[in-house]
Amino acid sequence: MTSSPVGIEALNVYCGLAQIPVEVLFAERGLNRDRLGNLMMNQRSVGFPFEDPITNAVNAAKPIVDALTPEQKERIEVLITATESGIDYSKSVASYVHRYLGLSRRCQFMEAKQACYAATGAVQMGVAYVASGISPGAKVLVIATDVTLADGRNQYIEPVVGPGAAALLLSDRPRILTVDFGAFGNYAFETLDSARPTPTEEVADVDGSLFAYLDCLKQAFLAYRDHVEGTDFATTFDFLAMHTPFAGLVKASHRKMMREFTRASPTEIEQDFTQRVFPSVVYARQVGNLGAASVYLGLASVIDEVKADTGYRVGLFSYGSGCCSEFYSGVIDQESTTALGEMQIGRHLAGRCELTFDQYEELLKDTLLCLVPRKEHDVEIGQWSAVLDRRSNPRPFLTLKRVRNYHREYEWV
């Protein structure tokens, strides 16, 4: 067992090349604008036909892997993709990611599934692998990656979900987040609050899902408190980053917790939300619910917004329908700001092109079929060259080119 700190060495998110304003979707779908206030969302990311869970994962992780020396890259010994957007019953997303990131053939890979929670389960396993000391200096790469299958049938869900991925490199050099080892709490039970029963269908019981989320937040926090004596919801955590189905739910969840665990007045609760929680939803309000990557988009948002000049403890809450949840914590500091700043996430989000509703509808015809198994398939990338050319960062970018006998083939542009 190592005595070194362990945690997240590097973090990056990829949130697509395009976005559409939430207000446009509300107007075109005939949704009730009175609900915009409680939603607290501005835009959502949109995927293209040349994107899938594999390209999102690789495009999130590529800058992290490219920044490593060959020797450091060789120390990535475990790759876990966490996704509810699998592309095969047997073959993992991770197998393609392993190939296109050029990882070592001595690096094991696998896929984890538990809706939006799986990435956090994978992170905890990865942290334990690093901390165990069974392979001193080893690194673990966890990538949360998803696409959305929502369209007009999903009413108020459609405007608040987006495709994307978060890549997290775990090691004993935690520049981004030093995990409070052993400080965690889980809460889980079986329910069908939302699911993907087929490759083209999202089903959701809105109340069932939101209420399960709220129960899990409270109970996972209580489990955390049982592990960490003296924990206080109002004072232990300088910032909170939660899985964000939509920012308004995070606000409602924080309000509920503050009512139950503190004597704060409504005004004090509002101020506390602005100070401790709002920094975590700044990015989510621009891209939507990223699924498994959501809570790590929240962490990135906290680091980029706060620009820490000293150590701050962040409480993280991860929830996945079905349902499983975890509350854990870690510490960010000035080094976190520097390390994440290299990824230029804010610039990436600002550089997405804005789509019209007609363009968005046209894309849906293809992107809704993203997870449907196809034996043969070709993607004509040329028609999207203008979108690809205006990317904010000239990094290599992976695109889906074709499928031959179910084997997906990708191309760097």
Residues with active-site annotation: 84, 116, 243
Integer Cα distance of 291 and 145 in angstroms = 8
DSSP string across 246-285: SHHHHHHHHHHHHHHH----HHHHHHHIIIIIHHHHTTHH
CA-nearest of 116, 347, 122 to 249 is: 116
Least distance to other proteins, CB of residue 211, Å: 4
Q: How far is the CB of 193 from other proteins (least distance, A)?
A: 8
Composition of the chain by helix, strand, coil, percent to 5: 40, 25, 30
Q: Does 190 bind other proteins (CB under 8 A)?
A: no
Nearest to 291 by CA among 323, 317, 316, 321: 321
On the CB side of 185, CA atoms within 13 Å amount to: 19
The span of 143-151, 251-259, 314-322, 338-346 binding other proteins (CB under 8 A) equals: 251-259
Contact string (CB under 8 A) for other proteins, positions 256-275, x = contact: x--x----------------
Query: Closest approach of Cβ 337 to other proteins, in Å?
Result: 32
> Does 206 engage in binding with other proteins (CB under 8 A)?
yes
Near other proteins by CB under 8 A, which window of 66-74, 128-136, 200-208, 375-383? 200-208
Q: How far is CA 350 from the centre of its chain?
A: 18
CB of 35 to other proteins, least distance (A): 5
Residue holding tokens 């991925």?
165
Could you say whether residue 38 binds other proteins (CB under 8 A)? yes
If one asks whether residue 35 binds other proteins (CB under 8 A), the answer comes out as yes
Choose, by CB under 8 A, the member of 126, 248, 291, 330 that binds other proteins. Answer: 248
Min dist. Cβ of residue 284 to other proteins (A): 16
Residue 210 interacts with other proteins (CB under 8 A): yes or no: yes
Give whichever of 260 and 409 is closer to other proteins, judged by the CB atom.
Answer: 260
Rounded to an integer, what distance in angstroms lies between the CA atom of residue 205 and that of residue 81?
26
Give, rounded to a whole angstrom, the gap between the first and last alpha carbons of the chain. 43
Stretch that binds other proteins, among 28-36, 303-311, 324-332, 392-400 (CB under 8 A): 28-36
Tell me whether residue 55 or residue 253 sits nearer to other proteins (CB atom).
253
Cα–Cα distances (Å) from 291 to 38, 85, 139, 233, in that order, read 20, 9, 24, 25
CB nearer other proteins, residue 40 or residue 138: 40
E strand residue ranges, 83-238: 108-112, 139-146, 164-171, 177-188, 194-198, 201-204
Residue with tokens 């956090």: 120
Is 212 a binding residue for other proteins by CB under 8 A? The answer is yes
Other beta carbons within 10 angstroms of residue 234's beta carbon come to: 15
Q: How far is the CB of 207 from other proteins (least distance, A)?
A: 4
Per CB under 8 A, 411 contacts other proteins: no
| Interaction of residue 393 with other proteins, rule CB under 8 A | no
How many residues bind other proteins (CB under 8 A)? The answer is 23
CA distance 251 to 238: 16
Q: Does residue number 249 form part of the binding site for other proteins (CB under 8 A)?
A: yes
Question: Which residues contribute to the site for other proteins (CB under 8 A)?
Answer: 32, 34-35, 38-39, 156, 191, 193, 205-208, 210-212, 214-215, 248-249, 251-252, 256, 259
